[in-house]
Every structure is written in structure tokens, then in C-alpha cells.
Amino acid sequence: MSINTIKEGKTSAIVAYMTMIGALIAISMNSESENEFARFHIRQAFGLHLIFLGVAIFLSVWFNEYAWYGLYIFYIVLWFYGFLGALNEKKQSVPVLGPYFQKWFTFIR
């Protein structure tokens, strides 16, 4: 991947980490150019947001205070790791779930 490709996709990659709405906006921003760097980070961020929302919905029914703490710590650490990768122009997967996000979200172009 060239430096130009990374520079062009950096904005979309950063926007993707700003909530689920940001991920959807980044998907639409990248729909025409199909930048490889942006696509990688959009998949990572979309997966993180989706996992967080899914587990949060589950925990809203089955309330356990310590599970909420665990969810927030898990989400913040992985989000920070991915966001720093986008800021530093690195194509690094989020630990544990990152490779799965790349497989599961192939519909994101």
C-alpha cells in the first residue's frame, strides 16, 4: 500500500472510530474511492461498535455491574488501539477480534 493511499484514506479511517454513526458516514465516504486503508479501519471500527452495542443490549436485560465494567474496559482499550493505528497511519488489526472483522464485514467496500 502506497503512502498516497494511506494519506487519502486517513480521514475516513478516523471518522469511522467516532461512534456507529461515524462508521456509517465513513462507509459512505469511502463508497466511491474504495480506499484500502480506509476500508481496513472502517471494518475494524464497525466491528467494535457492533460488538459493543450487541453486548450492551444483552447486558441491559441481564444486568451485572461487573460485566458492564468489563465491557467498557474491553471496548475502550480496543477502540484506543484501533484509533491510534488510524492516526499513526498503520494497518494494524485490533487484538483478538480484528482478523474476524476483516472476514465478517467483506460487504464494506
Query: What is the count of structural domains for the chain?
Result: 1
The model's confidence at residue 64, banded by pLDDT at 50, 70 and 90, is confident
Span 79-108, mean pLDDT?
92
In whole angstroms, how far apart are CA 57 and each of 39, 47, 54, 88, 93? 27, 15, 5, 32, 25
Does residue 109 fall inside a structural domain?
Answer: no
Does residue 31 fall inside a structural domain?
Answer: yes
Q: Above 90 in pLDDT, residue 6? A: no
pLDDT at 3: 82
Does residue 76 fall inside a structural domain?
Answer: yes
The model's confidence at residue 47, banded by pLDDT at 50, 70 and 90, is very high
Q: Above 80 in pLDDT, residue 109? A: no
Instruction: Look up the domain containing 34 and give its range.
Output: 3-104
Q: Above 80 in pLDDT, residue 1? A: no
